[in-house]
């Protein structure tokens, strides 16, 4: 995690997407706005009054879920909150990534700061102190059904506020939680009425993963346009299908227009493309080349829609029961993750399709029946060398996995809590599989990048466009030029990192900046 000097302020309204990314990935500090502190304090006083009354209120003087009819006496209510967190911290499986845990905690703090949960100011401040100290609770992959909140993941975070559970320090090393808190000068909290429920009853995990995935996918859509254009060059395809008059005027999907324009600009002044504008007997390129803007553009439009949903959710205050502005405490169903779960599943579909298209372009470059004069598998000495034959196998395996990850999780529901929670969203699972899909798409594009760069090099002495030429020239040194076979896995890993760390798009941006007419 990179640290940044930026500070994110929690007010009584929502956060921005950039706020979440800054805290989750760049270690930005979080502070509470004075007006938020005032409202949280005022609402908590109202909750304290209710706690002292004989009127049963869910989450304050009753049990939870199917045990909501059980009255809890005053002397056991602190124990009720502690027991809630301990019992609900029931996750299992692989550990969730630190950036996801930080996003989860920030988004929960955002709702707590809204003044609609009844949290005490000191408990909210403790959560912010843990975030700012770089302490990351251990959260497991399984435990949320995406309804009644991301219960187990948030409970593992709440446990750390109590001085219990497991956590990593700012150095990424796991140490005892009391030791980590003491080192940061943080006093563990003793949860009061309503606080346990307020800490765990939200869609924060699935929303955080959606926001992080969308940020990655916006970049990968740009990458896909470039690797697609490189494949067009490598396969002696035409750039004429990307002309602007063929897109928005005829089919006004914004994403398609963006991708077509980027591909056309990427291929501008390519000597390879120009070399076959005369005397080429082909009438049309294959769909995987010609229809790239339509497919990648659809991913762009899906990202835009999902961002709209994420932005709405960022403005939400999700808890149950919720404290209304008039002071009433009311049960509700806003914790249900369906709105987020549906878009998480939706986005996974075009992700798989963009990857499938890239794999088809790669396979075409390796096949002498379709690659217009390139050697089999782009090998140095075909027969002795296998070239990129098995790299394409790897790519095909990832694409197959992406197709499975595109199967929606949100259409499944397993009733829980003795049938009180009889329909759940599975949004957390939709989010987990989208994260895997993002990784898969990046790897598929990395393999296409290696193949297209080799194909372009094999077209020498013809020169690529200034943009694609800059990409080829900037490739990591591990990525071999055409010639005898070399250890392939490090080449693919280097290409993946070249994309993941932003180097590739920086090279593209610099090449575009050098040619403002594009």
Catalytic residues: 58
Q: How far apart are CA 126 and CA 21, in angstroms?
A: 21
Q: Under a CB-based contact definition with an 8 Å cutoff, are residues 367 and 356 in contact? A: no
Q: Under a CB-based contact definition with an 8 Å cutoff, are residues 16 and 110 in contact? A: no
The burial of 460, by beta-carbon neighbours within 10 Å (0-12 exposed, 13-18 middle, 19 or more buried), is given as exposed
For residue 229, which of 241, 247, 244, 215 has the smallest C-alpha distance?
Answer: 241
Tokens found for residue 471: 């990409």
Cα within 13 Å of Cα(358), Cβ side = 39
Q: How far apart are CA 196 and CA 218, in angstroms?
A: 36
Q: Under a CB-based contact definition with an 8 Å cutoff, are residues 486 and 478 in contact? A: no
Helix, strand, coil percentages for the chain (3-state, nearest 5): 55, 5, 35
The burial of 65, by beta-carbon neighbours within 10 Å (0-12 exposed, 13-18 middle, 19 or more buried), is given as middle
**CA-based angle 202:203:208, to the nearest 5?**
125
3-state DSSP assignment of residue 174 = strand
Instruction: Give strand pairing partners of 175.
Output: 167
Instruction: Give strand pairing partners of 166.
Output: 176
Strand duo 166-168 + 136-137: pairing? antiparallel
């Amino acid at each position: 995690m990179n640290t940044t000097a930026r500070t994110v302020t929690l007010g009584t309204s929502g956060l921005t997407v950039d706020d979440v990314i800054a805290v989750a990935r760049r270690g930005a500090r979080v502070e509470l706005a004075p007006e938020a502190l005032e409202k949280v304090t005022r609402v908590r006083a109202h909750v304290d009054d209710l706690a002292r009354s004989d009127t049963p209120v869910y989450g304050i003087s009753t049990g939870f879920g199917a045990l909501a009819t059980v009255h809890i006496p005053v002397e056991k209510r602190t124990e009720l909150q502690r027991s809630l967190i301990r019992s609900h911290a029931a996750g299992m499986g692989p550990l969730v990534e630190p950036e996801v845990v930080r996003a989860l905690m920030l988004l929960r703090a955002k709702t707590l700061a809204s003044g609609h949960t009844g949290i005490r100011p000191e408990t909210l401040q403790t959560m912010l102190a843990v975030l700012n100290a770089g302490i990351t609770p251990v959260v497991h992959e399984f435990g949320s059904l995406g309804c009644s909140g991301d219960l187990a993941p948030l409970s593992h975070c709440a446990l750390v506020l109590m001085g219990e559970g497991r956590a990593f320090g700012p150095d990424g090393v796991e140490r005892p939680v009391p030791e980590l808190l003491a080192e940061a000068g943080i006093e563990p909290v003793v949860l009061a009425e309503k606080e346990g429920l307020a800490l765990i009853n939200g869609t924060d995990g699935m929303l955080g993963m959606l926001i992080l995935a969308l940020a990655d996918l916006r970049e990968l859509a740009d990458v896909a346009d470039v690797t697609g254009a490189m494949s067009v060059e490598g396969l002696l395809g035409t750039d004429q299908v990307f002309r602007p008059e063929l897109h928005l005027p005829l089919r006004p999907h914004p994403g398609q227009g963006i991708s077509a324009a980027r591909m056309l600009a990427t291929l501008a002044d390519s000597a390879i493309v120009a070399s076959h504008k005369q005397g080429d007997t082909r009438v049309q390129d294959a769909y995987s080349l010609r229809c790239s803007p339509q497919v990648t553009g659809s991913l762009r439009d899906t990202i835009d829609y999902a961002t709209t949903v994420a932005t709405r959710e960022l403005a939400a205050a999700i808890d149950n029961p919720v404290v209304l502005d008039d002071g009433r405490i009311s049960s509700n169903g806003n914790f249900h993750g369906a709105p987020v779960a549906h878009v998480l599943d939706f986005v996974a579909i075009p992700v798989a399709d963009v990857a499938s298209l890239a794999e088809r372009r790669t396979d075409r470059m390796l096949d002498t029946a379709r690659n217009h004069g390139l050697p089999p598998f782009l090998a140095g000495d075909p027969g002795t060398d296998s070239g990129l034959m098995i790299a394409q196998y790897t790519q095909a395996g990832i694409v197959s996995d992406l197709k499975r990850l595109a199967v929606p999780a949100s259409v499944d529901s397993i009733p829980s809590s003795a049938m009180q929670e009889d329909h759940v969203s599975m949004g957390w699972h939709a989010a987990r599989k989208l994260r895997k899909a993002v990784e898969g798409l990046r790897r598929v594009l990395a393999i296409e990048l290696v193949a297209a760069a080799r194909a372009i090099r094999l077209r020498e002495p013809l020169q690529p466009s200034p943009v694609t030429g800059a990409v080829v020239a900037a490739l990591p040194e591990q990525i071999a030029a055409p010639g005898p076979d070399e250890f392939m896995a490090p080449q693919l890993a280097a290409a993946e990192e070249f994309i993941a760390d932003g180097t590739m798009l920086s090279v593209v941006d610099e090449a575009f900046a050098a040619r403002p007419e594009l």
